[in-house]
């Protein structure tokens, strides 16, 4: 906050409660809550990329985009309700573009560290995290349209999160399809067995 790096000069109000080193605990908890769903969504979104190293790099980038996309919904509401502000304002609902560039960079550092520490690619055990990301996308879109009357935020946030969510869902479905074994081909009919069955039927008749 003091330097304006990397998200621009802004300030928190007292509405967010206790702070640690100037950062409200509630704000940090919200970001921590969405970090895992963003990592999972990013991983499924790049599932089809060949090459483990390349996929790993794109996983970090996609997860960073996923978390930053959620901020496209969050920041306008926080500004509108007085939780934090940018003194210089911004073209997007009072939020400057530098904020999103800064959060993408911050997210990339966090997720890059996760990857370096061995965080794996998502699997079926992470379905709840992907569902939470999808639910957040749907809930925020609905609330901004129907409750808060913020069509610009609804469109921007829905598009931003959707750019990660849609390929993530496709990647998850592809993994499910690949896990289902192909049906075994039908065994060829033996002419001898067919003839024998016909004789038995004629005998019964």
User: Given this model, what pLDDT does residue 202 score?
Assistant: 62
In a domain, 77, yes or no: yes
User: How far is residue 95's CA from residue 102's CA, in Å, rounded to a whole number?
Assistant: 12
Beta partners for residue 85, in sequence order: 11
CB 144 within 8 A of CB 73: yes
Strand 23-24 to strand 19-20: parallel, antiparallel, or no bridges (unpaired)? antiparallel
107 inside domain: yes
Residue 110 lies in a domain: yes
pLDDT for 4: 44
To the question of pTM greater than 0.85 for the whole model, the response is no
**Confidence (pLDDT) at 2:** 42
Is 3 among the domain residues? Answer: no
Both tokens of 76, joined, read: 């306008």
- pLDDT tens digit at each of 205 positions of the chain: 444 455 556 788 878 888 887 788 988 899 999 999 999 999 999 999 999 999 999 999 999 999 999 999 999 999 999 998 888 889 999 999 999 999 999 999 999 999 999 999 999 999 999 999 999 999 999 999 999 999 999 999 999 999 999 999 999 999 999 987 755 555 555 565 556 656 665 665 5
How many domains is the chain built from?
A: 1
Give the DSSP letter string of the chain: --S-TTT-S-EE-GGG--EETTEEHHHHHHHHHHHHHHHHHHHHHTTT-SSHHHHHHHHHHHHHHHHHHHHHHHHHHHHHTTSEE-TT--TBTTB-HHHHHHHHHHHHHHHHHHHHTT-----GGGHHHHHHHHHHHHHHHHIIIIIS--HHHHHHHHHHHHHHHHHHHHHHHHHHHHHSPPPPPPPPPPHHHHHHHHHHHHHH-
For residue 119, what are the contacts with CB-CB under 8 A and spacing of at least 6?
A: 39
> Does residue 56 sit within a domain?
yes
In a domain, 150, yes or no: yes
> Which residue range(s) make up the domain with 184?
11-204
> Is it true that the peptide bond before 6 is cis, omega within 30 degrees of 0?
yes
Backbone φ/ψ region at 163: left (φ over 0), alpha (ψ -120 to 50), beta: alpha
Tell whether 102 is covered by a domain.
Answer: yes
Q: Is residue 2 part of a domain?
A: no
């Amino acid at each position: 906050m003091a330097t304006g790096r990397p998200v621009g000069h802004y300030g928190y109000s007292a509405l967010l409660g206790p702070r640690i080193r100037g950062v409200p605990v509630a704000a940090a908890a919200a970001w921590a809550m969405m970090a895992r769903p963003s990592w999972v969504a990013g991983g499924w979104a790049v599932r089809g990329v060949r090459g483990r190293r390349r996929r790993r790099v794109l996983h970090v980038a996609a997860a960073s985009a996923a978390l930053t996309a959620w901020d496209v919904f969050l920041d306008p509401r926080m500004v509108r309700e007085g939780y934090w502000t940018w003194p210089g304002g911004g073209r997007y609902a009072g939020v400057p573009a530098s904020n999103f560039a800064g959060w993408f960079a911050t997210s990339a550092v966090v997720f890059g560290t996760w990857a370096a520490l061995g965080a794996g690619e998502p699997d079926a055990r992470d379905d709840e995290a992907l569902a939470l990301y999808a639910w957040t996308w749907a809930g925020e879109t609905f609330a901004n349209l129907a409750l808060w009357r913020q069509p610009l935020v609804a469109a921007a946030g829905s598009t931003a999160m959707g750019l990660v969510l849609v390929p993530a869902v496709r990647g998850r479905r592809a993994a499910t399809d690949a896990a289902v074994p192909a049906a075994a081909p039908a065994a060829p009919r033996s002419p001898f067995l067919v003839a024998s069955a016909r004789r038995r039927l004629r005998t019964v008749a």
